[in-house]
Structure 1
Amino acid sequence: MEAKQWTVQIYITEESDETLARAVLTTRDTSTVTGRGAARRNPVDRPIPEIGDELAASRALEDLAIRLHDVASDDIVQLAGPVER
């Protein structure tokens, strides 16, 4: 059995009350898939940067999961070939 390792790196930037996150999945063959997420602090809320980081990162990971699923679905369609009748 061969063990495989894929790496996800999350990049977080903050601009004023907005936090942006980018989750980048890199596979062994150096393919990449990227998900993005954002969080915006309500001006009446206390500024707690960790919460914005967590929300933006979780949304980026959710977007990454959807995009990875789309890649897998496209691969299945391509490999299945035409339907015989």
Structure 2
Amino acid sequence: METLVGWHVDMEFAEDGDKTKAAAMVRLADGTEVRGHGNASRHPSDPGQLRVGEEIAGARALMDMAQQMLEKAHDEIEESTGRPAHPLTQ
């Protein structure tokens, strides 16, 4: 039988002129909170579209969080098996 598991990611943005910062957080089933951060800067010649900065900064925050989660899983595999895990590649 399938087990359904869900995660909810919280994402916050801070805009300051042409700079956008994003912070993402997810709480895993083991109680661990993983937080990622991302930044985006608008080029002066680009039109002011806050949504684009949010998308870029948000994507970078999620990539930061994903890398941390891969490292966490890698460490847990090594701890449980007592041997090196495969490299962190896709």
TM-score, normalised with respect to structure 1: 0.87
Structure 2 segments unaligned to the other structure (5+ residues): 85-90
2: CA distance, partners of 1:65 / 1:39: 18
> Deviations along 1:27-80, whole A, 9 cap, x unmatched?
233311111111001111111100000000011111111110000001111111
- The count of residues paired between Structure 1 and Structure 2 equals 83
Partner residue, 1:50: 51
Partner residue, 2:88: none
TM-score, normalised with respect to structure 2: 0.82
RMSD: 1.6
Q: 1:63 is paired with a residue of what secondary structure?
A: helix
Partner residue, 2:10: 9
> What's the CA shift for 1:3?
2.0
Deviating 4+ runs (over 6 angstroms): none
Q: Which has the higher contact order (CA 8 A, sep 6+)?
A: 1
Structure 1 segments unaligned to the other structure (5+ residues): none
